[in-house]
A and B are shown apart, each in its own frame.
Chain A
């Protein structure tokens, strides 16, 4: 719930005009610098997409015929199927875990609460690598079983593998949404239903589920969005969803307009899902109200205790233990066989350098944008806010492709430069840097600065001395989020990076694609350590 800052009706009233003339209502209209930064950022996020549309429209080939090709239809079909399976799968895993960790006496509840959310920090391609390198042909399991005469394992590639990996990577979205809803529900609402004649089971059907429904649906759509946008897992598991098809089309042919057309279809698909998610989230907020004074009583599992633990442990095992063990297995094997084992310095520097630069740039842009959004409610602020969140929801492959078109035609100077990549990251992940800062600004309000003004500070000095220190932790948290996202990002690094440029992500992806699991294990381990570090910083800030 965002508290309103300045009453937006004020400036229109006569009193408001009078105040402004006296310089006492400085918040009525956004200062020009804030407005400029905000609108430039918004333009930077939107223009590439517009350009993508222009490019697609200008194709020589028959766009409609291309769209109606059996292959395009097949890709659309498999993408939708993937989305549906991931949606169903994440509910099947996320909902029971949410219930078990909030409303039952599950043994080790606290530990499971943390462990079951951790997969959110693992990039899909690391999980994809782990699955291929563990269960694939020439994978860890195969080589362990070979002496026993097992020649073939069931195929991990294609829909089953991709769906598995994406479900394990994105079920925390459903879990978090459901858990928040379950914790927020007040006990007296369920009790009221009991006194009105409902049994426990009926209360669940008539009250609990309808109340949680929108939140869970919104969480599920986030997971679906994740699956639709994902590039890493589907490409490693060789499943033809849109992102992979776009990438192949882009790499394979000279007519990149066709890739642009595919990208636009994927864009449309994700926009529909994003829109649905936003609507459901609004609905869920209406139901939420204040936090529960008395949480719902927990259920005693009885003889279902251990089956429940087994279920949660299996999920954590697949999502966390399998990657860890696989990485360890291949690291040890690489060392043991004296295979060229090294984690090159370039990918680490590539990842850290771009991530740090993008985090700094995003943070610099985030402060004016957050000020605009939090303190100047009105059309410009709303537009900037929506656009930056929209850019965040776009699939990386679509953004990357759009920027390639912009760079090759309009800004050849920037094509294949690190500057373009870093700028693209900063704009795409801006929402992550703005979010915490905006929330803190909204919570702080103007009182501090007003107190400073009455004590003799000018507006700039009051902001620097009073508001900035309060907002600093939020700025750092935002920077950490952007850093984490950039370190994990794959398709943009792959497409926009200069020739020869490597990051940990691209290194893991390319070595896994070629089957050199031992060479992927090193970067994967480094990446996990880095993500874990950034996560720890964020969690520590959260705890404070």
Chain B
């Protein structure tokens, strides 16, 4: 792609957003959003619906104007104090949630729409249709295509003018589950092959985790964390992130010298949470816990019991409850797959690294509408 590089060799980011704010009447859609997308990087933005993630894309595309903040695309300032570049001169490619194909134009004409001045556009269109694996669809009309094909045409159309950044607004939300998984892989390859920098916003955490080189978690108009997916999962920055991305149990821990003592045993604390001293909430993932079947007898009166069971195909998650009412989601290893609801179990913590949140941060309430997984996570009372 047309990577603009400053002479010193430091690459200019494809996109840099600083202090972005957007208010609709009395509703604050974005408050102080900072983001950066590096060259040829895919940044995914994950958040519950209504968190403002689509607004970010629309502001970058210039379809709406921010109330404060600046946006730079490939080193060019497009919004900020002193005016705004109109959408048609921003060099962004946008893939809309409903694809927004032009119904009166053939597939080839749709793809060629943004490059009508290019003398070699026929070649470019053929190249792109090849890239999105629709080499023979050029003469067809959008309404004749399946949802997945329409989505790929929308990709080709957005990529045709070689944009500085591609904006993808929930590109898979209108597709069924099987197709979604396949197209996810395709999309990743298409963008890699085109060398494009991209932002993809989604409310699906699998999508955000698998597709992003880095991912940003957003709630109520703020970015909670922006890191590689492994870090977001392993070292969530806030309780919201811990429960929204993946299944997270928050368990009380007495922290000192980088170790948190929970009722299940000690955990090693990493990052900033290594410095916490005193009571905090530690993040315990299901795979951090080892389950063991307990003999059902009077000796086990104080044992945990299985209260819910969730089979996902590849793994089994069990929710267990302590006599005092604390509940945890745990992964059931091969040895304990036969466990049923009501069975007594013993828990043991594996030797794990995790993070904890000191009280000052923990009373940040969870999202208004957390994802189903987050709804089942428990904050210790």
A interface with B by C-beta (< 8 Å): 186, 188-189, 191-199, 202, 206-207, 210-211, 213, 286-287, 289, 293
A186–B88 CB distance below 8 A: no
A199–B96 CB distance below 8 A: no
Closest Cβ of chain B to A292, distance in Å, is 10
Q: Cα distance A49–B157 when bound, in Å?
A: 53
Count of chain B residues with a beta carbon within 8 Å of a chain A beta carbon? 29
B93 interfacial contact with A, CB 8 Å: yes
A191–B87 CB distance below 8 A: yes
B61–A197 CB distance below 8 A: no
Neighbouring B residues of A206 by C-beta, 8 Å: 113
Question: What would 8 more interface pairs be, CB under 8 Å, given A189-B102, A197-B161, A211-B104?
Answer: A191-B96, A192-B100, A193-B102, A196-B88, A207-B102, A286-B141, A289-B103, A289-B143
Closest Cβ of chain B to A110, distance in Å, is 22
B98–A193 CB distance below 8 A: no
Q: Cα distance A194–B167 when bound, in Å?
A: 14
Q: Which of B56-93 touch A at CB < 8 Å?
A: 61-63, 86-90, 92-93
Assuming A193-B102, A207-B102, A286-B141, is B157 touching A188 (CB within 8 A)?
Answer: no
Give 7 nearest A-B pairs by CB, closest first.
A196-B114, A188-B100, A194-B87, A192-B100, A188-B96, A195-B94, A287-B103
Neighbouring A residues of B143 by C-beta, 8 Å: 286, 289
Assuming A211-B103, A211-B104, is B98 touching A188 (CB within 8 A)?
Answer: yes
A286–B100 CB distance below 8 A: no
Closest Cβ of chain A to B94, distance in Å, is 4
B103–A191 CB distance below 8 A: no
B96–A193 CB distance below 8 A: no
Closest Cβ of chain B to A493, distance in Å, is 44
A194–B100 CB distance below 8 A: no
Assuming A188-B96, A289-B143, is B61 touching A195 (CB within 8 A)?
Answer: yes
A191–B104 CB distance below 8 A: no
What does DSSP make chain B's interface, helix, strand, loop or mixed? Answer: loop
Q: Cα distance A186–B100 when bound, in Å?
A: 8
Q: Cα distance A224–B61 when bound, in Å?
A: 43
Assuming A188-B100, A211-B104, A286-B141, is B90 touching A193 (CB within 8 A)?
Answer: no
Q: Identify which of B88, B102, B141 contacts A195 (C-beta below 8 A).
A: B88
Closest Cβ of chain A to B106, distance in Å, is 12
Q: Cα distance A195–B86 when bound, in Å?
A: 9
24 interchain pairs, CB-CB under 8 A:
A186-B100, A188-B96, A188-B98, A188-B100, A189-B101, A189-B103, A191-B61, A193-B102, A195-B63, A195-B87, A195-B92, A195-B94, A196-B88, A196-B113, A196-B114, A197-B88, A197-B161, A199-B88, A206-B113, A207-B104, A210-B104, A211-B103, A287-B103, A289-B143
Neighbouring A residues of B87 by C-beta, 8 Å: 191, 194-195
Q: Cα distance A175–B49 when bound, in Å?
A: 37
Q: Cα distance A186–B96 when bound, in Å?
A: 11
Closest Cβ of chain B to A184, distance in Å, is 11
B104–A186 CB distance below 8 A: no
Closest Cβ of chain B to A536, distance in Å, is 37
Q: Identify which of A192, A210, A289, A293 contacts B94 (C-beta below 8 A).
A: A192
Neighbouring B residues of A186 by C-beta, 8 Å: 98, 100
Closest Cβ of chain B to A192, distance in Å, is 4
Q: Cα distance A197–B105 when bound, in Å?
A: 17
Smallest CB-CB separation from B94: which chain A residue? Answer: A195
Smallest CB-CB separation from A212: which chain B residue? Answer: B104
Neighbouring A residues of B105 by C-beta, 8 Å: 210
B90–A293 CB distance below 8 A: no
